[in-house]
Structure 1
């Protein structure tokens, strides 16, 4: 993982974690221990799904740039389906408070997307590698003899 990829992951994960901590505290006060457990599970689910998606997307961009847009659409669809399967599997659970879980899941997802968008806008990522352009110019110039 390149340094700007790790930085982007960190810029998205830290605010999401902070929102998760706040959600756990609020859920613990409002719904008790089950609310806190629901908020923790919601935060962890968002961080795992969105973090894994970001890593997969960055590796795809590096190795197969022609598939980047299609992979992004497939990745977001897969993430939504994964969360849907999780929601269906735990829809009648008593392990955690489902309202606290759902609100935390929504809030953490929105914060992750906003932080990732901000990180992309602030990142100074070169679209063209200047070193490859210089080497190509030297190759096409021919020998000076």
Structure 2
């Protein structure tokens, strides 16, 4: 992973992990050990899904740039549907508190998306190629009218 991508991932994952730690602490205080476990599983699941999605999106941007926008939209819809499926599957589990799981999953996902938007806005991405001014323009040949 290039250093720029790693820095971008760090700017996104750290706030999400902090929000997850807060969710685990609040869940432990409110619902005990099973609540903390549910919040931890929800946070890890959100970070895992969103991290894989970011990796796939970066790979698409490098290899198939013409599909980037469509892939981004498809990826976010697929991620949200998969997270919804996980909430539905674990709604009656006895392994952990399903309410804290769902809340931490939603909170972590929202924090991830907000941090990703902020990281993108703060990134210094050229919208004009700075090397194009340096290249010599070909002389016009033929009559000009």
Q: What range describes the TM-score normalised by the shorter chain of this pair?
A: 0.7 to 0.9
Is the Cα contact below 8 Å between 2:87 and 2:102 reproduced in 1?
A: no
- Residue 2 (structure 1) aligned with residue 23 (structure 2): no
Structure 2 SS opposite 1:126: coil
Q: Deviation per CA, 1:103-131, whole angstroms, max 9, x where unpaired?
A: 11121111111111110011102235545
In the alignment, the residues of structure 1 paired with residue 20 and residue 88 of structure 2 have an alpha-carbon distance, to the nearest angstrom, of 22
In the alignment, the residues of structure 1 paired with residue 125 and residue 78 of structure 2 have an alpha-carbon distance, to the nearest angstrom, of 27
In the alignment, the residues of structure 1 paired with residue 34 and residue 118 of structure 2 have an alpha-carbon distance, to the nearest angstrom, of 33
Cα drift, residue 71 of structure 1: 0.3
Please list, as runs of the form range in 1=range in 2, the aligned pairs for 1:1-145 lying within 5 A after superposition. 1-131=1-131, 133=132, 137=135, 141=138
In the alignment, the residues of structure 2 paired with residue 6 and residue 127 of structure 1 have an alpha-carbon distance, to the nearest angstrom, of 22
Query: Paired residues, what number?
Result: 139
Question: Counting helix residues as a fraction of each chain, which structure ranks higher?
Answer: 1
In the alignment, the residues of structure 2 paired with residue 103 and residue 117 of structure 1 have an alpha-carbon distance, to the nearest angstrom, of 21
TM-score normalised by length of structure 2: 0.86
Cα drift, residue 90 of structure 1: 1.3
Q: Deviation per CA, 1:32-86, whole angstroms, max 9, x where unpaired?
A: 0100000001100110011111111111111111101110111012102211221
TM-score normalised by length of structure 1: 0.86
In the alignment, the residues of structure 2 paired with residue 65 and residue 54 of structure 1 have an alpha-carbon distance, to the nearest angstrom, of 15
Is the Cα contact below 8 Å between 1:4 and 1:123 reproduced in 2?
A: no
Is the Cα contact below 8 Å between 1:11 and 1:119 reproduced in 2?
A: yes
Superposed CA RMSD: 1.8
In terms of Rg, which structure is larger?
2
